[in-house]
Amino acid sequence: MSNQTVRDQYETYPYPERAPGDEAKRLIEGSPSHLLELNHYVFGGRRDFSKPFRALVAGGGTGDGAIMLAQHLADTGGPGEVVYTDLSQASRAIAEARARARGLGNITFHSLAIEDLENAALGPFDYVDCCGVLHHMADPASGLAVLSRILADGGGMGLMVYGELGRTGVYPVQDMLRSISAPDSLPGERIKLAKNLLKQLPETNWLRRNPFLGDHLAGGDAGLYDLLLHSRDRAYRVAEIAELVNRAGLAITALIEPAAYNPDTYLTDPKLKQQLQTLPWLDRAAFAELLAGNLRTHVFYVVRKGRTADAVAPADDLDLAPVLKGGDAAGLAARIKPGAALTATLDGIKVRFAMPPLAQAMIIRMDGVRTLGHIYNELATINPNLDRDEFLAQYRVLYAALNGLGQLYLRQPPP
């Protein structure tokens, strides 16, 4: 099948549905490609955004990733720029209107298939975002290989593909709808048919029994079409992603959120946890995926094989500054009661992390400017008995929880 059917879908139903006027009210932020996150998992936290930085958003759709990244780059005051490409003109028009609404002048827009990117000679790129696109391509492996070839040395990518287990229930409904839709039926007719079928799903139906899927209920017609009427999509397990990435000469540096891919997040038995410690981290991630069963998407960062050693910011590098995603250190510190655990919800699962005694004192100092070394010095001034090993032991526990939940990153402090 050519890209034409996929393009037609996104011309009729640009996805996700976005109103450019909403840019005045909020910035949509997420993963991959939040600037703090990509810096942490691709550039070891040390990328200087006052230097030229070129990012490609491949299959940018209605603009979520491109707008967020362009806004974050503009906020640094540096020269960073974003190149947006997509098959769909209608999606591009919405993304362009959103950029105009924000006054962003650092995005250029192109109507291009990923398959044609090399010929267009727009690269090389320091960073590539490809979110929710590879799984719609006729040949995802060739698509990723194209992206890999236009990646600059020392660069990396943030990717998202569907997760198989979390999409339980989607493919049987897709199959049913395919079997009863006339091949030449119009998109609006297909939507009508789908809505009618959805009303009559028996309570045993797996889509009905999967509470974590909501696009067909809350995502408008575009969401329903994308989830249940797509002409081409497939879903992946962790091991299949590793294989896809490996074939393109790349390696995974992180799966997001890290805690969701850590079996320890879900298990309590020390023996079982210890047994799992012996597995390589990707096997542990694959185990966690099977265990939790709720991962609808896999967001992950990759770099060229051989560059993994310096891609991820080292957790306890004393020269890097811990920085909170929302920037609200006081709010987070207030949520942590002395002696109590931090609780959070990960895709519907309630999780809890024991907090070390110094958690509040550390968090309140995480302003993205103080380095870990500075934070230690301040706390050691208040408490002269605090030695560095004890400080680092407590910090690692805090880091595993907050970084695991996608709240905490590391970066080189501003000069």
Ligand X SMILES: C[S@@+](CC[C@H](N)C(=O)[O-])C[C@H]1O[C@@H](n2cnc3c(N)ncnc32)[C@H](O)[C@@H]1O
Q: What is the DSSP letter of 9?
A: H
Told to check if 10 binds ligand X by CB under 6 A, we report: yes
CB of 119 to ligand X, least distance (A): 13
Q: Which tokens go with 27?
A: 């910035």
Give the whole-angstrom CA distance, residue 162 versus residue 254: 16
**Choice between 8 and 317, CB closer to ligand X:** 8
Residue from 36, 55, 67, 87 that binds ligand X (CB under 6 A)? 87
Told to check if 297 binds ligand X by CB under 6 A, we report: no
Q: Check whether the bond before 415 is cis (ω within 30° of 0).
A: no
Kindly report the three-state secondary structure assignment for every residue of 250-298.
EEEEEEECHHHHCHHHCCCCHHHHHHHHCCCHHHHHHHHHHHHCCCCEE
**Choice between 3 and 106, CB closer to ligand X:** 3
Told to check if 356 binds ligand X by CB under 6 A, we report: no
Told to check if 15 binds ligand X by CB under 6 A, we report: yes
Count of residues in contact with ligand X, rule CB under 6 A: 23
Is 355 within 8 Å of 402 (Cβ atoms)?
no
Show the site string, 60-79: x = touches ligand X by CB under 6 A, - = not: xx--xx--------------
Told to check if 344 binds ligand X by CB under 6 A, we report: no
CB of 245 to ligand X, least distance (A): 18
181-217 in b/e burial notation, b at 16+ Cβ within 10 A?
A: eeeeeeeeebbebbeebbeebeeebebeebeebebbe
Q: Which stretch binds ligand X (CB under 6 A): 31-39, 53-61, 147-155, 204-212?
A: 53-61
CB of 81 to ligand X, least distance (A): 18
CB of 262 to ligand X, least distance (A): 25
Residue nearest to ligand X (CB): 61
**Scanning residues 120 to 159, which ones bind ligand X (CB under 6 A)?**
131-133, 136-137
Q: Which stretch binds ligand X (CB under 6 A): 80-88, 209-217, 325-333, 375-383?
A: 80-88
Beta bridge partners of 236: 163
CB of 120 to ligand X, least distance (A): 11
Give the whole-angstrom CA distance, residue 32 versus residue 69: 10
Alpha carbon 125 to chain centroid, angstroms? 19
CB of 203 to ligand X, least distance (A): 29
Told to check if 174 binds ligand X by CB under 6 A, we report: no
61-96 in b/e burial notation, b at 16+ Cβ within 10 A?
A: bbbbbbbbbbbbbbeeeeebbbbbbbbbeebbebbb
CB of 18 to ligand X, least distance (A): 9
Residue from 6, 99, 359, 375 that binds ligand X (CB under 6 A)? 6
Show the site string, 213-232: x = touches ligand X by CB under 6 A, - = not: -------------x------
**Choice between 190 and 411, CB closer to ligand X:** 190
Is 117 within 8 Å of 111 (Cβ atoms)?
no
Sign of CA dihedral 207, 260, 137, 120: positive
Which residues 6+ apart lie within 8 Å of 341 measured at CB?
352, 353, 354, 355
Which residues 6+ apart lie within 8 Å of 326 measured at CB?
332, 407
Is 320 within 8 Å of 410 (Cβ atoms)?
yes
Told to check if 56 binds ligand X by CB under 6 A, we report: no
Q: Which residues bind ligand X (CB under 6 A)?
A: 3, 6, 10, 15-16, 59-61, 64-65, 86-88, 91, 113-115, 131-133, 136-137, 226
